[in-house]
Amino acid sequence: MIIRPKQNWFRMLFVWNGSVLQSIIPQLLFMAIVSSLAVFTHGRVFGEKIPLNTAPFTLFGVALALFLGFRNNASYARFIEARHFWGNLLIAARTLTSQICCYLPDRLDETERVRLARSVIALAYALKHQLRRSDPMPDLHRLLGDAHAEALRGKLYKPVAILNEIRSALAAHHGRRPPDTTSWMFDAQINEMEKTVGGCERIASTPIPFAYSVLLHRTVYAYCILLPFGLVDSTVFFTPLICVFIAYTLIALEAIADQVAEPFGLAPNALALDAMTRTIERSIFEMCGQEVPPELAPVDLYRLT
């Protein structure tokens, strides 16, 4: 996720770090070449003049803009929903830890409370690694100890396994007594975390239908490639400049939509899951009176991972 201080209007024109311009330079160079060829050949291909003018591009551009808007809205909705899930995970983790510390002081010693708190933190890290398909074992070893972490190595759904262990540990302190108000409070927060795990799994396993992406990709490039041949008679030598600018707008919107549609990835505009899990860790350790680790610093000045 790109984190930058607010810039004035003039400096925003020249922002490089944090924009998608870096990733679409090859496409823009390609459009500059196509536009220059259209100017050099006066809009002819193999000696034949392409009979295009600006009228069809105006009508088609409106339809393309609506389609791009739909694609970006769908992508941003996934991004916002994923952010809500991680916000709910932070709230539920804090609440559960506070309840354990406040409502079970006579049944749990400090070591057991810290162990449960570490399990809550390990849940967040295990979920992050599951969503990013990375190795969770270094973080699990650091938080849970070698024996406990190795016991989780063979689990396919480590966040669910950790949640089940937390519920079992809390239930064990009630013995065979019927569930009381405290038990219901614990279960409510564990259920919230289970909803977060399931919701994130749903987003990660259900991408935007591939047919939408293919259709939009083909339409954008077809529009940008044909545009110089429709403008060359009216704009002449300014055709490459105008076409590259229009291509930048359309191709950049498509690139942003692709990044935002995968909120758990490592793209510059994806969610900063490393920073979010560190926030959960810092908050819970502070409540338990443990040493609080430092905040994560942005990578490349402005990017939080």
Burial of 244 (0-12, 13-18, 19+ CB in 10 A): buried
Mean pLDDT of the chain: 85
Spell out the domain ranges in the chain: 19-287
Whole-number Å distance between alpha carbons of 255 and 24: 8
pLDDT winner (highest mean) among 65-69, 189-193, 224-228: 189-193
pLDDT for the residue numbered 4: 66
> Across residues 83-106, what is the average pLDDT?
88
| Residue 5: pLDDT over 80 | no
Residue 303, helix vs strand vs coil: strand
29-88 tens-digit pLDDT: 999 998 888 888 887 777 667 777 777 777 788 888 888 888 889 899 999 999 999 999
- Are the CB atoms for 99 and 189 separated by under 8 Å? yes
Task: Tell me 297's DSSP state.
Answer: P
pTM assigned to the model: 0.88
pLDDT for the residue numbered 1: 67
Do the strands 44-45 and 48-49 form a parallel or antiparallel pair, or are they unpaired? antiparallel
| Residue 176: pLDDT over 60 | no
243-264 tens-digit pLDDT: 899 899 889 888 888 888 899 9
- Are the CB atoms for 82 and 271 separated by under 8 Å? yes
> Residue 129 has which token pair?
């690694």
CB atoms within 10 A of CB 89: 25
Identify the band that residue 238 occupies on the pLDDT scale cut at 50, 70 and 90. confident
Nearest to 120 by CA among 285, 275, 274, 271: 285
Nearest to 254 by CA among 73, 65, 72: 72
CA atoms within 13 Å, Cβ hemisphere of 62: 5
Whole-number Å distance between alpha carbons of 21 and 67: 21
- Are the CB atoms for 293 and 101 separated by under 8 Å? no
CB atoms within 10 A of CB 38: 25
- Are the CB atoms for 224 and 250 separated by under 8 Å? yes
